[in-house]
């Protein structure tokens, strides 16, 4: 045995391990949820080592990560110690301690995408200001800090009025719809009051929601996934259809807007751009996620290179893969918690069990330790030769009577 391959534990540094694969860099991921889990799956296939930082001992990524550091990604000490063990630092959630990332970048830590991007994105109001400065089309918006400015915004934009939290928003938690002037104060209360940091958006009368995942390599090159349609239920992404059934012209416009949005941000990685398609064929930006995203889960089965592999390639400076579809159609169905506890698990397990008999269906289960209502517990992707067939297969999966046994 060669002494080259032995190391001294007292001076052990993960970034000095010699890896004879695609990259000798350890990819550090802030967050270890399902997106982190799927990043680890893609990494494992390519022999890339991923370390995750997540406070939950049994977070979805923990079983698959090369190393799981138990700690908070919004904690400065934890993030700093973690970053120093990684060759490149990235995220699977944007609600991280960005001030620490900025400081670390100054010290030469490689963050992809850049901390500046995460700072802009993690505050949805700041994000809107940023994109409006870059002339990206989007619904009108306005900061509100009290009843006066809220009433004024309601008069200006009309009702329904979308009221949003600036920070820590996900899965619609942080959104409230006021249908009239009278409902504004209860919405504001539900979101934690004005002091929490709120803004409003004009209601977007969309006919469809679309999403485009744009990958950017370290050399600045962009590569776009086919436009998909996303269908939300109670503000939560529920179904994704790939490709979107819209005209070639709309696909081109959506891709253009998405690319323009991503060009205004710094750093490598995949970026998911959520869009509204209006009746008069306008494309408006909803928001951007600077990381792999729910609207790209199906890329695992339906694209030559999944968004997860693409993200790893991008942050590591490897050539980007082919984002185009290798199956003509795909549909992704999120398994959202229907009930708390064991009964919720039983319902979900019946569905994933039945999915095994559906042609072209793949089951993903995130192993979240607790079942909560509306929580994303897993997803099912169905691929097939046509949109009609994958939709039919999903319908037959969902329409079967759920057997209950209590």
Summarize as ranges the residues that interact with ligand ATP (CB under 6 A).
139, 162, 164, 169-172, 174-175, 201, 203-204, 209, 232, 235, 274, 286-287
Query: In the bound complex, what is the minimum distance in angstroms from residue 388's beta carbon to Mg ion?
Result: 28
Q: Which is nearer to Mg ion, 201 or 274 (CB)?
A: 274
Identify which of residues 55 and 172 has a Cβ nearer to ligand ATP in the complex.
Answer: 172
Question: Which residue number, 15 or 287, has a Cβ lying nearer to ligand ATP?
Answer: 287
CB of 259 to ligand ATP, least distance (A): 20
Q: Which does 203 bind (CB under 5 to 8 A by kind): ligand ATP, Mg ion, none?
A: ligand ATP
Would you say 66 or 203 has its CB closer to ligand ATP? 203
The residues in 256-275 that bind Mg ion, with binding defined as CB under 5 A, are 274
Specify the residue, 24 or 171, whose C-beta has the smaller distance to ligand ATP.
171
* Shortest Å, Cβ 348 to ligand ATP: 20
Q: Which is nearer to ligand ATP, 34 or 286 (CB)?
A: 286
Comparing CB distances to Mg ion, the nearer of 80 and 287 is 287
Give me the least distance between CB of 169 and Mg ion, in Å please.
5
Measured between alpha carbons, how far is 297 from 348 in angstroms, rounded to an integer? 18
Site size with Mg ion, rule: CB under 5 A: 2
Q: Quote the CA–CA distance of 195 and 159 in Å, as a whole number.
A: 23
85 binds, among ligand ATP, Mg ion, none (CB under 5 to 8 A by kind): none
Q: Which residues pair with 53 in a beta bridge?
A: 30, 69
Instruction: Please say which residue, 16 or 155, places its beta carbon nearer to ligand ATP.
Output: 155
178 binds, among ligand ATP, Mg ion, none (CB under 5 to 8 A by kind): none
Q: Which does 317 bind (CB under 5 to 8 A by kind): ligand ATP, Mg ion, none?
A: none
Least separation in angstroms between residue 130's CB and ligand ATP is 15
94-100 long-range contacts, Cβ below 8 Å, gap at least 24?
94/118, 94/121, 94/122, 94/289, 94/290, 94/291, 95/122, 95/167, 95/168, 95/170, 96/30, 96/31, 96/122, 97/73, 98/122, 100/76
Instruction: Answer with the entry of Mg ion, ligand ATP, none that 96 interacts with (C-beta below 5 to 8 A by kind).
Output: none
Partner from Mg ion, ligand ATP, none contacting 392, C-beta within 5 to 8 A by type: none
Q: How far is the CB of 318 from ligand ATP (least distance, A)?
A: 28
284 binds, among ligand ATP, Mg ion, none (CB under 5 to 8 A by kind): none
324 binds, among ligand ATP, Mg ion, none (CB under 5 to 8 A by kind): none
CB of 139 to ligand ATP, least distance (A): 4
By the criterion CB under 5 A, which residues form the site for Mg ion? 274, 287
């Amino acid at each position: 045995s060669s002494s080259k391959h032995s190391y001294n534990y007292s001076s052990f540094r993960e970034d000095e391990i010699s890896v004879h694969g695609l990259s000798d860099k350890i990819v550090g991921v802030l967050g270890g949820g399902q997106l982190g889990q799927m990043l680890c799956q893609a990494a494992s296939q390519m022999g890339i080592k991923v370390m995750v930082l997540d406070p939950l001992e049994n977070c979805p990524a923990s079983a698959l990560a090369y190393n799981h550091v138990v700690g908070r990604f919004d904690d400065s000490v934890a993030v700093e110690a973690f970053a120093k063990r990684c060759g490149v630092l990235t995220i699977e959630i944007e609600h991280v301690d960005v001030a620490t990332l900025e400081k670390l970048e100054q010290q030469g830590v490689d963050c992809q995408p850049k901390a500046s991007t995460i700072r802009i994105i993690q505050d949805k109001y700041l994000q809107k200001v940023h994109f409006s400065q870059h002339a990206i089309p989007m619904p009108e918006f306005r900061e509100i800090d009290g009843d006066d400015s809220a009433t004024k915004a309601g008069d200006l934009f009309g009702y329904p009025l979308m009221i949003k939290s600036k920070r820590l928003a996900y899965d619609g938690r942080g959104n409230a719809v006021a249908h009239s002037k009278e409902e504004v104060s209860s919405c504001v209360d539900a979101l934690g009051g004005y002091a929490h940091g709120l803004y409003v958006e004009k209601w977007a009368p969309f006919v469809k929601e679309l999403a485009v995942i744009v990958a950017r390599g370290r050399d600045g090159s962009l590569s776009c996934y086919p436009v998909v349609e996303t269908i939300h239920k109670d503000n939560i992404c529920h179904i994704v259809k790939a490709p979107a059934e819209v005209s070639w012209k709309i696909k081109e416009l959506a891709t253009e807007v998405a690319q323009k949005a991503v060009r205004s941000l710094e750093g490598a990685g995949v970026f998911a751009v959520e869009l509204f398609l209006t009746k008069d064929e306008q494309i408006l930006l909803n928001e951007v996620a600077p990381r792999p995203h729910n609207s790209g889960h199906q890329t695992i089965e339906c694209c030559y290179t999944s968004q997860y592999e693409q993200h790893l390639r991008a942050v590591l400076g490897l050539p980007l893969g082919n984002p185009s579809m290798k199956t003509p159609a795909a549909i992704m169905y999120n398994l959202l918690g229907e009930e708390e506890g064991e009964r919720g698990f039983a319902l979900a397990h019946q569905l994933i069990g039945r999915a095994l008999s559906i042609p072209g269906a793949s089951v993903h289960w995130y192993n979240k330790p607790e079942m909560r209502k509306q929580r994303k517990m897993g997803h099912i992707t169905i691929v097939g030769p046509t949109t009609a067939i994958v939709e039919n297969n999903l319908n037959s999966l969902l329409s079967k009577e759920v057997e209950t046994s209590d």
